[in-house]
Amino acid sequence: MKWIRGFLMLQMSFLLFPPAGVAQSPSTAHADPEKAAAAAPRMLAPYFRPATAQAKAPDADGFLQRWMLLDPIVKPNRTNTVFTASYVRNVLGTQYFPDQFTVLPHEGEKVAVSGQELAWHALDSTAINVKLYRFAYGFNKPTYGVLFWAVTVVNASREIKDVRLAVGSNSASLWWLNGQDVAGLFDDRRMVMDDVVSKPLTLNRGRNILRGAVINGPGMSDFCVRFVDEDGNAVKDLTLTLP
């Protein structure tokens, strides 16, 4: 019986501390967390839902959650500290694809950037902040050292004067309303709601086109946008539709 106990102890030792170079079966080894994460299915949920044809109101706090998002454009930056106003305006003012500042994209439409084909996606964010990192990750696209482009249609039932665009973004970003540059966020920054508020603006009766571009080096990336009135209260009598 002693030899049996010795054999069992030897087997247990082999299972707990296998010799170098000996492959372990799934039942005797823990999976590499990084490999397991890489092999896991990539999903947009729970951060996004597909946008529908039905108009969508802002959320209870006025945040705009419906967007057309373009696959990220690769723009390597090893640090976010380079995002000065002049740098950001130069990079985001560069034309990467035709009609960049006027296009009203549709779901699945594609543009070519530096030989790569990028697609537009119609999505509703489930949170007040549009999680660009999760968007890129969900589509298996580059998540760091990238530019993101976003477009939405803001519908107003009346002309609304003296509203302000309130934006937060990680990292730097520029925003255009009806073709006019109205807000810029620069330097290395985390997303904070209402971080930058534009000068007084007018929302036209009917369709208004809001366009944004976000640049990020390392780290997470997201943005949140809403309109506020003169007193800082959310403007909520709006609807969002796809272009």
- Mean pLDDT, rounded, of the chain: 88
Judgement on whether residues 79 and 121 belong to the same structural domain of the protein: yes
Judgement on whether residues 95 and 6 belong to the same structural domain of the protein: no
In which domain, by residue range, is 139 found? 48-241
Average of per-residue pLDDT across 107-133: 97
Q: What CATH number has the domain bearing residue 216?
A: 2.60.120
**How many Cα neighbours within 13 Å face the side chain of 139?**
20
196 vs 36, which has greater pLDDT? 196
In 10 A of CB 79, how many CB atoms?
A: 10
Q: DSSP class of residue 102?
A: T
In 10 A of CB 176, how many CB atoms?
A: 17
Indicate the helix (H) or strand (E) that contains 186: none
Decide the pairing of beta strands 116-125 and 66-70.
antiparallel
Q: Is the dihedral of CA 63, 66, 68, 74 positive or negative?
A: positive
Does 221 have pLDDT greater than 80? yes
Residue 43 lies in a domain: no
What residue type is assigned to position 122 of the chain? A
Burial of 23 (0-12, 13-18, 19+ CB in 10 A): exposed
Pairwise CA distance, residues 18 & 15, whole Å = 6
How sure is the predictor about 78, in pLDDT bands with cuts at 50, 70 and 90? confident
Does 103 have pLDDT greater than 60? yes
Judgement on whether residues 69 and 164 belong to the same structural domain of the protein: yes
Judgement on whether residues 29 and 53 belong to the same structural domain of the protein: no
| Closest alpha carbon to 86 in 216, 187, 183 | 187
Provide the pLDDT for residue 35: 67
Strand segments (E) across 42-144: 48-50, 66-70, 73-74, 110-113, 116-125, 130-131
> Distance of alpha carbon 117 from its chain centroid, rounded?
19
Judgement on whether residues 112 and 6 belong to the same structural domain of the protein: no
Q: Which residue has the tokens 């534009």?
A: 198
230 contacts 157 by C-beta, under 8 angstroms: no
pTM: 0.83
Does 216 have pLDDT greater than 60? yes
Provide the pLDDT for residue 34: 55
How sure is the predictor about 32, in pLDDT bands with cuts at 50, 70 and 90? low
How sure is the predictor about 17, in pLDDT bands with cuts at 50, 70 and 90? very low
Domain count for the chain, please give it: 2
Judgement on whether residues 27 and 68 belong to the same structural domain of the protein: no
Provide the pLDDT for residue 39: 65
